Amino acid sequence: MAAASSNERKNISKQLLLVLLFILSCICLSTAINTANARNDSGLAFDHGVYYVPLTPDANSDTVYIGNNLVFVPNVDYTDIDSGEFDFYDYAQMPHATGVTVSSTYGWNDLGPNVTWYNCSEPPQMRVISREGKDKHCGLYIMTLHFKDPDGTYYLSIPHSNGLVKVYCNGNNLGFLWGRHDEWTPSFGFGYEYVPIIPDSDGIARVMITISTHVNIHNPGLLSPPALDSSVDSMSYAIIPALWVMMLFVLYLFILIGGFLISRTFKNKLVFYELILIEFLSLMYMLVDCNFIVFNALVKEQMSFILLILLNTMVFVFIDSFYTTSVAYKKHLILRAAPVIVSSIALLLILWAIFGNIQFTTWIPLVPELLFTLLVACICGFNLLTVYYGETASFYVCIIEICHVFFSFNAIAGFKGAYNLPTYSVFLAIANLTLEFYYVSRYVIQARALEDTMEHMQFLVQEKTLRISEINRDLYTTNKKLMENEQARKTVLSNVSHDLRTPITAIRGYAEMLYTSGQNMPESQKTNYLKNIIRRSEQMERIISDIVELTRLESNANEFQFMDVSISELLDEVYMIYEADLQGSGKKITLDIPDNDLLFVRADPKKLSRVFENLISNAINYTFEEAKIEIKAWREGQEKSIENQTICIDIKDNGIGIPANEVSMIFDRFYRAKNSGQNIKGTGIGLSIVKTIIDRHDAKISVESAIGTGTVFHIVMRAN
Ligand code: ADP
């Protein structure tokens, strides 16, 4: 446990370090993009209000920016120029400013540090022009360009401006930038447009740029320095942002399709819909902000404001959704109330932006934007570092939150680069890639876990199947055994009844004869009959005791009491009994055992004696008058270790032998060989008892026999 938690701690500190590194790289990235992408003034030679432009039509790659030393004439509208009320040189009599700098933050509300006003003691008030019930301000930027090559065509482009932009050159109307002719209705632009500047025969181009914009805009006018290109090469300014937006859109589609495919694995499906909404809002923000969708300046400002607030709210709710299943979330009411509070604030801000008639000429809209972003970032950051610290998704959530902060701050800063690629969009891409990576890796982990579980299940099923088949086999064996036992029982019964019937019939016959004609019978015959009755009763008794013994041996494992037994001693005892019995008969019995080896085995001595007695008495029974019975025991494998040695016992006779085809059956219960005959008494149970006892000793018994020559029973036991 302790090891696991220390491992966990190590993991978390590693993640924290990664997060810090990520923040650092984001700062570097923002700075790098903003620096590299800056659209600065090219520092053209400027004299007496004229720029000297070194461009030639051949120098395809040359682009120059004009951001300093412009002339600004307030309160001049394109309608004044179109109606002829205002001519290029008229500005000299009007209040105007020179040394004007382009400012992206304030537009013409901040004309730069070098500005000098003419024909007025202080900057004049902006005049409100009302048309179609709407109020607007207008202003005119003026520049005189002197081209090195008077025959060339040059292209003017301004990617970022607030208001309707109309361009004139040498008194000719060149058209609107963004191609819009109605300043109050939205239209679709292409992010970047240019108009051709055609100088007069002296290479002079007097350019006038009028801008009309809503009175509530805080940064009206030019927001990025106008660029001059010597060729239509500036198409790249349109294509590159379009490609970038396409790329973001493709990422968005990936998330949409991928998220849809794996949304079944989400605990909380709402996360997926929130994600779609966030993607949609951020793309919309970019399209509006970069003039891919063109609105009039106020609507654009309002839209951007609302989209950013919505985006912040959705990011908060989205991050919150990751933790709805966590213990802390269920425990603390404040955590559950947070999304409601944030959404309510957002709603109030949106209503304020729509109905509040906000002065977009001031900092006012930027303050709530900034504060709201900070609020969301702080709550998310606080939650991540305290309550949700160390949760599975926290690392990815943290990366997304950092991207969100960088996105929002860059969006509020409003910096646009040379290619109209806003810095915030880079963080949108990073956040999307992180999310993709998170979902894909989560999916892969889940798929792997599933595969492992499947494998485990398969293994369990296989194991169970094996177990079942084993049980089946056991059942089959048990069943077979039961059937065999049943068969054996029937055989035993029929054999017993048959074997008992013979003596019973004989006894009954003798008894009946004695009963019916006993008085007339001579005494000797009566005695003979009575002797027969006694013999037959003894035979019955023997049969019954043999059956009882065999049954007991087979059914009761505890019958056996194993101990170290000397085969030499055991055989010697048995031999002594039979040797005495055979005294005076024609039958001879011999014993051959080693002198100096007691031939120890592990056995039940009583049961083993029974084996030897049975075999020796069979040998005596199934031999002729002049018989020779040999008992021999010896050790085999003396050179090996004791556990590999065996004790062998042979009981050999030169009797009637067993027919070859019956040798295999003589151990069966009640089986008696055909040649054993009626006059040799027996039940056919003796060898079954022998076999059962030998089996219980883990020993082996075999027979070699030949009719008329004799029989050898060979026993092999493990030495002890
Ligand atoms: P039983 O001797 O009571 O008939 P056993 O089970 O001891 O029963 O022997 C089974 C049969 O094996 C005998 O009936 C006999 O035919 C045969 N048998 C056993 N021992 C010998 C032997 N030493 N020589 C010839 N036949 C034998």
Q: Which residue has a Cα nearest atom 25 of ligand 1?
A: 657
For residue 653 and ligand 1, the question of a CB distance below 6 A is answered with yes
What type of residue is 405?
A: V
Q: Residue 671 CA: which ligand 1 atom is closest?
A: 10
Distance CA 164, CA 294 (A): 10
The answer to whether residue 4 scores a pLDDT higher than 60 is no
Residues 66 and 176 in one domain: yes
395 in a domain, yes or no? yes
Contact 670, 686 (CB under 8 A): no
For residue 398 and ligand 1, the question of a CB distance below 6 A is answered with no
Distance CA 164, CA 159 (A): 12
Q: What is the DSSP string of 374-394?
A: HHHHHHHHHHHHTTTTT-TTH
Distance CA 668, CA 115 (A): 129
Residues 61 and 183 in one domain: yes
For residue 422 and ligand 1, the question of a CB distance below 6 A is answered with no
Cα of 208 vs centre of ligand 1, distance in Å, is 136
136-184 pLDDT tens trace: 899 999 999 998 888 888 888 887 888 888 999 998 888 888 655 555 5
Looking at 201, 234, 267, the residue that finishes a domain is 234
Residues 546 and 599 in one domain: no
For residue 676 and ligand 1, the question of a CB distance below 6 A is answered with yes
State percent of the chain over pLDDT 70.
Answer: 90
Residues 282 and 426 in one domain: yes
How many Cβ atoms sit within 10 Å of the Cβ of residue 314?
23
Contact 172, 205 (CB under 8 A): no
Cα of 667 vs centre of ligand 1, distance in Å, is 9
Domain count for the chain, please give it: 4
- State the pLDDT confidence band at 288, using cuts at 50, 70 and 90: confident
Q: Which residue has a Cα nearest atom 21 of ligand 1?
A: 618
Please list, in sequence order, all residues whose beta carbon lies within 8 angstroms of the beta carbon of residue 367, skipping any fewer than 6 positions away.
Answer: none
636 in a domain, yes or no? yes
Q: What is the DSSP string of 669-702?
A: TT---GGG-SSS---S-HHHHHHHHHHHTT-EEE
Q: Residue 682 CA: which ligand 1 atom is closest?
A: 3
Identify the weakest region by mean pLDDT among 377-381, 445-449, 501-505: 501-505
301-342 pLDDT tens trace: 888 889 999 999 999 998 888 777 777 777 888 888 888 999
Residues 293 and 407 in one domain: yes
- State the pLDDT confidence band at 190, using cuts at 50, 70 and 90: low
For 617-627, b/e burial (b = at least 16 CB within 10 A) is: ebbbbbbeeeb
For residue 683 and ligand 1, the question of a CB distance below 6 A is answered with yes
Sign of CA dihedral 493, 496, 499, 504: negative
Looking at 535, 553, 571, the residue that finishes a domain is 553
For residue 647 and ligand 1, the question of a CB distance below 6 A is answered with no
33 in a domain, yes or no? no
Q: Which residue has a Cα nearest atom 16 of ligand 1?
A: 673
For residue 657 and ligand 1, the question of a CB distance below 6 A is answered with yes
Of 237-241, 287-291, 294-298, 687-691, highest mean pLDDT: 687-691
Residues 166 and 287 in one domain: no
Q: Which domain CATH number covers 177?
A: 2.60.120.260
Q: Which domain CATH number covers 505?
A: 1.10.287.130
For residue 550 and ligand 1, the question of a CB distance below 6 A is answered with no
Cα of 572 vs centre of ligand 1, distance in Å, is 23
- State the pLDDT confidence band at 635, using cuts at 50, 70 and 90: very high
Residues 263 and 334 in one domain: yes
Q: Residue 688 CA: which ligand 1 atom is closest?
A: 6
534-588 pLDDT tens trace: 988 887 888 888 888 887 787 766 678 999 999 999 999 999 999 988 888 889 9
Looking at 416, 447, 478, the residue that finishes a domain is 447
- State the pLDDT confidence band at 2, using cuts at 50, 70 and 90: very low
Q: Residue 673 CA: which ligand 1 atom is closest?
A: 16
State percent of the chain over pLDDT 90.
Answer: 34
Of 44-53, 563-572, 668-677, highest mean pLDDT: 563-572
15 in a domain, yes or no? no
126 in a domain, yes or no? yes
663 in a domain, yes or no? yes
For residue 682 and ligand 1, the question of a CB distance below 6 A is answered with yes
For residue 666 and ligand 1, the question of a CB distance below 6 A is answered with yes
Please list, in sequence order, all residues whose beta carbon lies within 8 angstroms of the beta carbon of residue 665, skipping any fewer than 6 positions away.
Answer: 671
Distance CA 140, CA 72 (A): 6
* Whole-number Cα distances in Å, 445 to 154, 321, 452, 459: 57, 21, 10, 21
pLDDT at position 493, please? Answer: 73
pLDDT at position 357, please? Answer: 72
486 in a domain, yes or no? no
Residues 523 and 562 in one domain: no
Which of 676, 701, 702 for mutating ligand 1's site (highest number of atoms within 8 Å of CB)? 676
pLDDT at position 1, please? Answer: 40
Identify the weakest region by mean pLDDT among 36-45, 184-193, 228-237, 568-577: 184-193
Distance CA 387, CA 486 (A): 75
pLDDT at position 194, please? Answer: 77
Residues 499 and 362 in one domain: no
Distance CA 56, CA 557 (A): 116
For residue 669 and ligand 1, the question of a CB distance below 6 A is answered with no
The answer to whether residue 285 scores a pLDDT higher than 60 is yes
Q: Residue 710 CA: which ligand 1 atom is closest?
A: 24
Instruction: Give Dmax over CA atoms of the chain in angstroms.
Output: 183
How many Cβ atoms sit within 10 Å of the Cβ of residue 438?
16
**272: containing domain:** 240-447
Residues 226 and 258 in one domain: no
Q: Which residue has a Cα nearest atom 12 of ligand 1?
A: 666
* Whole-number Cα distances in Å, 692 to 542, 664, 668: 19, 15, 10
485-509 pLDDT tens trace: 787 677 667 767 777 787 888 889 8
Contact 123, 179 (CB under 8 A): no
244-277 pLDDT tens trace: 888 888 988 888 888 787 777 666 778 888 888 9
Strand 154-157 vs strand 45-47: parallel, antiparallel, or unpaired? unpaired
Instruction: For the sheet with 63-65, list strands across it.
Output: 63-65, 227-229, 154-157, 194-197
Which residue's structure tokens are 């009302």? 130
Residue from 426, 26, 438 nearest 245 by CA: 426
Query: What global pTM score does this model have?
Result: 0.59
29 in a domain, yes or no? no
Residue from 643, 688, 645 nearest 666 by CA: 688
Alpha carbon of residue 175 to chain centroid: 59
Q: Which domain CATH number covers 694?
A: 3.30.565.10
Cα of 582 vs centre of ligand 1, distance in Å, is 19
The answer to whether residue 48 scores a pLDDT higher than 70 is yes
Residues 369 and 442 in one domain: yes
Cα of 676 vs centre of ligand 1, distance in Å, is 7
- State the pLDDT confidence band at 682, using cuts at 50, 70 and 90: confident
Distance CA 313, CA 376 (A): 8
Distance CA 138, CA 125 (A): 11
Residues 324 and 357 in one domain: yes
Residue from 237, 140, 138, 143 nearest 183 by CA: 138
Cα of 626 vs centre of ligand 1, distance in Å, is 18
Whole-number mean pLDDT of the chain? 85
Q: Nearest 5 degrees, angle CA 459-CA 460-CA 466?
A: 90
